[in-house]
Amino acid sequence: MTDRLILLTGPEETPVLSARLSDLNPDLLISTASDLPSLEAAFQQPATRRRLIAFSTGIIVPARLLALCDRGAINFHPGPPEYPGNQIAAFAAYDGATEFGATAHFMAPEVDSGPIISVRREAMPPGGTRTDYALTGYKNLVFLFNDLEVKLSNLDYALNPNGEVWSGHVWKLSDLDRMRILPRDVDAGELARRLRAFEDSEPGSLHVDLFGFRFRICPDSNS
């Protein structure tokens, strides 16, 4: 029997996670991918059984590939079930969410909609920025992977949903772009929220359009 685990993640995570899974199950064949072309190539490799693990990636896996994962396709999402979608750390910062974390779930054709396997959450201090939420999400993503790695590396083991469900708006990049456009009558409180959530780590992202010109928010060089 040829068991193959396909690991879809970034170039920094690939050697660490693949080595860990290989240590836990030396007989497991592991293919790695970081984008859609390399993912397609990984699915071309022979396998009797397949499991896909996606870790903190923005790649949307086509439904036809998910159908080939007879031992499950599992995604590690850097946010709790209350924040499905993309760039969710920014929206959690904008909301001032009191908790944040990470979610492991089965993948489905619709983004962040499959049955949830496990969740980790932790309390967030008031006034957190997008970076604060992103770091918390990624930290809990690593902890969650550590919690499940033994089961993930054994394709005989079938993971089961824990009963939690997704909630809230599925955020998209278009939502992020929309929130970076400041209303002309923005007040101080709303500006502070948007600076914390959508300007943090990307100076000049917030802007207002007036009379055919675009004015960007930039730090005061004298401050």
Give the Å distances, CA to CA, from 154 to 27, 42, 48, 100, 162. Answer: 10, 19, 14, 29, 19
Statement: residue 124 has pLDDT above 70: yes
| CA end-to-end distance (rounded Å), the chain | 65
In this prediction, residue 13 carries a pLDDT of 96
In this prediction, residue 209 carries a pLDDT of 84
Scanning 129-183, the segments in alpha helix (DSSP H) are 130-152, 173-179
Q: Are 140 and 121 in contact (CB under 8 A)?
A: yes
Q: Are 113 and 85 in contact (CB under 8 A)?
A: no
CA distance 194 to 171: 16
In this prediction, residue 142 carries a pLDDT of 96
Query: How many C-beta neighbours within 10 Å does residue 24 have?
Result: 14
Contacts of 27 (CB under 8 A, 6+ apart): 3
pLDDT bin (cut points 50, 70, 90) of residue 103 is: very high
In this prediction, residue 222 carries a pLDDT of 55
* HSE toward the beta carbon, residue 54, CA cutoff 13 A: 27
Statement: residue 50 has pLDDT above 60: yes
In this prediction, residue 1 carries a pLDDT of 66
| Averaged pLDDT, 50-69 | 95
